Amino acid sequence: MNGVERDHVLTRLLDAPGLSGYESACQQVWIDSVADYADSVETDSYENAVARVDGDGSLTVAVTSHIDAVGYVVRRIDERGYLHAGGVGGVDAVCARGQRVTVHSSDEEVAGVVVHTPSEMYDWTVTQLTDPSEVRIDIGAEDRADARNCVTVGDPVTVAAEPTELTNGRIAARCHDNRTGAYIVAEVIRRVARTTPDTTVLGVSTVQEEIGRRGASMISAEYDVDAVLVVDAGVATDSPKASPSVGNRITLGSGPIVARGGGTHHRLVAAARSVADATDRSIQFQATPDGTGTDADAFATEHGPVPTLHLGFPTRNLHTTVEVVDAGDVEATIGLLTDLLSRIGDAGTIDRL
């Protein structure tokens, strides 16, 4: 598969629906992208997926990302046929104002728009639509009975937003968090499979991270591994209104983010830094003394101590429909992970890193 086709994998992942708890479609895209390279691919009853590349040594390392995204779900249908949608995960409802949406019913995809009162009709002193529970969707139904003909309470809802290429290798999309992470893991599996690795590598795509890191808990209970390398979107702080209180400056185009502190293991952090130095790659650091708030926290401690590293790719506008990443950062994260797996294999044990 050449580079153009691999980029198409990322596009298909970004396009596929996959709200937390409703990941079937996007997970199938991920499985299809690794099936030709992995020695085996397994899924569980909640659709966590594990692609295995067998190595010659005794170590097993998991490279993981979650594949679910934030969004909305239909909570009720009122008598006028409007859908009342609530947020799933840390969604910012302000970004839904006046947007086109797709309701993913069991039978079809139903187009709709988020209701927004025109400026001529509301009090400017009142902020509109800041609570995800306030999202109302118009699908054109005449009344409740009409709406129920095509939509059911519990149907997931995504904002209709296609990936867009910006200048300088930047890409805007609704769910870089964390389809781009899933793409990175798939690409690492492809590159590792082309070699004869010393380390057995599990490429893992987890579900339900945005609502409590549930998929990571399931995987950590089922698989015994020697280390876990977690990939997730990291908050870029180089946007115009980013508060300095969120931490040090994280910028697009400056390389992957290495988390330090909390559940991140100091030997893996040191190894990542050493590999970056040896390969002349730029990396950025983020202090996470209270944890990363990602799957890394679950993998590190949930079922005994497991050395864990969190790598982030810088992302602007996180949890919006216009998240922005830099293609160079994505490639740098893939390269760093691939070389780090090789370093771990050469060491033979985490204690020798």
**Domains of the chain by range and CATH?**
3-69+174-352 (3.40.630.10), 71-159 (2.40.30.40)
Residue 176 in tokens: 């870089």
Query: What pTM value is reported for the model?
Result: 0.93
3-state secondary structure of 111: strand
Q: Distance (Å, rounded) from C-alpha 113 to C-alpha 99?
A: 6
The sheet that has 200-206: what strands, in order across it? 40-43, 49-53, 200-206, 60-66, 227-235, 308-315, 257-260, 284-287
Return the number of other C-beta atoms located less than 10 Å from residue 126's C-beta.
Answer: 7
The H or E element spanning position 43 is strand 40-43
pLDDT (tens digit, 0 to 9) for every residue of the chain, 353 residues total? 344 445 789 999 999 999 999 999 999 999 999 999 999 999 999 999 999 999 988 899 999 999 999 999 999 999 999 999 999 998 877 788 889 999 999 889 999 999 977 655 555 555 455 555 678 999 999 999 999 999 999 999 999 989 999 999 999 999 999 999 999 999 999 999 999 889 999 999 999 999 999 999 999 999 999 999 999 999 999 988 776 666 678 999 999 999 999 889 999 999 999 999 999 999 999 999 999 999 999 999 988 899 999 999 999 999 999 999 999 999 999 999 999 999 998 887 787 76
Which pLDDT belongs to residue 5? 47
3-state secondary structure of 201: strand
Q: Distance (Å, rounded) from C-alpha 157 to C-alpha 73?
A: 5
Residues 6+ apart with CB under 8 A from 46: 207, 208, 214, 215, 218
Angle between helices 327-347 and 176-193 (to 10 degrees): 50
What length is written for the chain? Answer: 353
Alpha carbon 348 to chain centroid, angstroms: 30
Which pLDDT belongs to residue 122? 56
Phi then psi for 302, rounded to 5 degrees?
-65, -35
Which pLDDT belongs to residue 120? 56
Return the number of other C-beta atoms located less than 10 Å from residue 306's C-beta.
Answer: 20
Nearest CA to 74 out of 148, 142, 24 is that of 148
3-state secondary structure of 252: coil
Under 8 Å between Cβ of 97 and 79 = no
Which residues face 230 on adjacent strands? 64, 310
Which pLDDT belongs to residue 3? 46
